[in-house]
Amino acid sequence: MAAQVGPSGLVVHTDINAAMLSNGRDRLLDKGLVGTVRWSLANAECLPFADQSFDCVTIGFGLRNVTDKSKALQSMFRVLKPGGQLLILEFSHPTTPGLKPLYGWYSFNVLPKLGKAVAKDEASYRYLAESIRRFPDQETLLNMMRDAGYEHSSYHNLSGGIVALHRGYKF
Ligand SMILES: C[S@@+](CC[C@H](N)C(=O)[O-])C[C@H]1O[C@@H](n2cnc3c(N)ncnc32)[C@H](O)[C@@H]1O
């Protein structure tokens, strides 16, 4: 995004968790991204920015973790400029025939074991599988976006719907 907006643009990187924000900040600094990127400890449910501040808001593998998702969608809508767009990248629900049971079995039986073996943290990977299962499916999220005011909302499935990219505009 920093490359897209160029030296005269601005990217604001946010997270509610100071340690996560700091980790992301270090990674950006390692890439030499200073000047164009700023950081803000922020709750997506009540973003600390003025109305109509941004051309684009993105949230990647984050909305699933937000407690009040509708409130976050409204908050992101408020800070978008007219003509601006919201992009949501998030785990979703498989749509490819036959994939759903296989993926469900993998998520609850293999993934936690992998988490235990590799990261020594089975519980977090169980939470990951559970949070994905509970997250609204593609059409439900689309309707939530429409309810929050987004227009021309649509989504694009990736990997058979395991992940989906939702997009909506503010006019
Ligand atoms: C799975 S991590 C993804 C982090 C990053 N987007 C990435 O792709 O590497 C989910 C993040 O959502 C953050 N988060 C959870 N609730 C939030 C909220 N209400 N507002 C802002 N960030 C939140 C967590 O602190 C966590 O860093």
Tell me 106's DSSP state: I
Q: Are 39 and 64 in contact (CB under 8 A)?
A: no
Residue 9 has pLDDT above 80, yes or no: yes
Ligand 1 atom 27: residue of nearest CA: 20
Q: What's the pLDDT score for residue 32? A: 85
- Relative to beta strand 163-169, strand 151-158 is antiparallel
With a Cβ cut-off of 6 Å, ligand 1 is lined by 15-17, 20, 43-45, 60-62, 65-66
Q: What's the pLDDT score for residue 35? A: 79
- The answer to pTM > 0.85 is yes
Grade residue 25 by pLDDT with cuts at 50, 70 and 90.
very high
Domain regions of the chain by residue span: 2-94+135-169, 95-134
Across 137-157, average pLDDT: 98
Kindly state the helix (H) or strand (E) to which residue 159 belongs, with its residue range: none
Query: From the CA of 79, how far away is ligand 1's center (Å)?
Result: 18
What stretches of the chain show up as alpha helix (H) in DSSP?
Answer: 2-5, 18-30, 69-79, 99-105, 111-119, 122-134, 138-147
CATH code for 2-94+135-169?
A: 3.40.50.150
